[in-house]
Amino acid sequence: LKIVKQQKTLIEEERIKVLLQMGGAKADELNQPLMALIGGIELIEMDKGSPDKLAHHIALVKEAGDRISEVVKKIQTIRHDETLQHIDDTSVVNIDQKITILSLEDSDDDFEMLNAVLSDHKKITLLRSSSIEDALQVLKQNHFDLIILDYLLSDGNGLDFLRRMEKAGLEIPAVVITGQGDEMIAKQVIQAGAYDYLPKNRIGEESLLRVIINTLEKARLKREIKNAREKIAMMSIQDELTRLYNRRYFNEIVEKEVSRAMRYETDLVLCMIDLDYFKKINDTYGHLAGDMTLSEIAGMLKKCVRQSDLC
């Protein structure tokens, strides 16, 4: 019971962490197109008498609007799985998505029990492997949202399977079915990477569905945390306005590229460019127009370089 409470607390902590991190990322993504939108409107007001210029400015405003729309869509994908609250304060999980589960179970009777519990839920597809070796092969060849495994198996145990999953680089959430009173085993499998556990004598429709949805929620949150960290890492080496690599990254990478060129005796080419009359653009049309110019030039540069080039 204590471990279950710890799991629920962890899920809530990770939910808050993800929302904060993703909220910051979305605010950063919105800043650029909003500036472009404001700049485009200012240019339209400035060039009211020039139809040719107006068409270009309107296109920029439309592009900025489309980018804002995409960010809003991303924000809307941060959702919560539904739970229906009843008067007696119990919670019934509403599964509204297709889920494919692999059951690692060597007992025919236990698998049939699991299958019977989930039989009324048509969006859940339950497949079976009866050994660790077979399960690992199946997981490498097919997509699964979740694994439910018995702790005691014919060719090992749940800990063996979790360790081999990690070694194989399989990042699929797993729930372990344990015997009655196996709190020590439950603790060990959680530490080994299992998302949750469920005593065999407590398997029922409500308890199993709750474990499934909590596990999927936790897995989703972990993915979002990973994506948020990757995005933050990228923001630290890219210029916010142009999305080109910044000086910090240049200083880090140039030493490696010089060393590589010297080691393999290959040529290394460094191109530097400058924008003529850029100060005049800022002075005449304002800094927002200058920012838009830099952004457009950056886009042109990225289209000209190869994937292996640094820009």
Q: What stretch(es) of the chain map to CATH 3.40.50.2300?
A: 83-222
pLDDT at 263 (0 to 100): 92
Burial of residue 75 (CB within 10 Å: 0-12, 13-18, 19+) is middle
Q: Are 142 and 169 in contact (CB under 8 A)?
A: no
pLDDT at 147 (0 to 100): 97
Average pLDDT over residues 51-59: 76
**Residue 148 is inside which H or E element, if any?**
strand 146-150
Q: Which class in CATH covers the domain with range 83-222?
A: alpha beta
Answer yes or no: is pLDDT of 4 > 70: no
The span from the CA of 79 to the CA of 192, in Å, is 28
Let me know if domain 1-79 sits in CATH 1.10.287.130: yes
Across 219-232, b (16+ Cβ under 10 Å) vs e yields bbbeebeeebeeee
pLDDT at 239 (0 to 100): 84
pLDDT at 160 (0 to 100): 95
At position 100, the amino acid (one-letter code) is: T
Answer yes or no: is pLDDT of 11 > 60: no
How do strand 174-178 and strand 156-157 relate by DSSP bridges?
unpaired
pLDDT digits (tens, 9 = 90+) for 229-281: 887 777 778 887 888 888 888 888 888 899 989 999 999 988 888 889 888 99
Answer yes or no: is pLDDT of 166 > 50: yes
Answer yes or no: is pLDDT of 182 > 90: no
Read off the pTM: 0.56
Tell me the CA distances in angstroms from 11 to 19, 125, 219, 256, one per residue in order: 12, 25, 9, 41
pLDDT at 66 (0 to 100): 75
What are the phi and psi torsion angles at 186 (to 5°)? -60, -45
Answer yes or no: is pLDDT of 53 > 90: no
Answer yes or no: is pLDDT of 141 > 90: yes
pLDDT digits (tens, 9 = 90+) for 83-133: 333 333 334 445 678 899 999 999 999 999 999 999 999 899 999 999 999
The span from the CA of 202 to the CA of 179, in Å, is 10
The span from the CA of 91 to the CA of 217, in Å, is 15
State the pLDDT confidence band at 193, using cuts at 50, 70 and 90: very high
Q: What stretch(es) of the chain map to CATH 1.10.287.130?
A: 1-79
Let me know if domain 240-311 sits in CATH 3.40.140.80: no
Q: Are 101 and 128 in contact (CB under 8 A)?
A: no
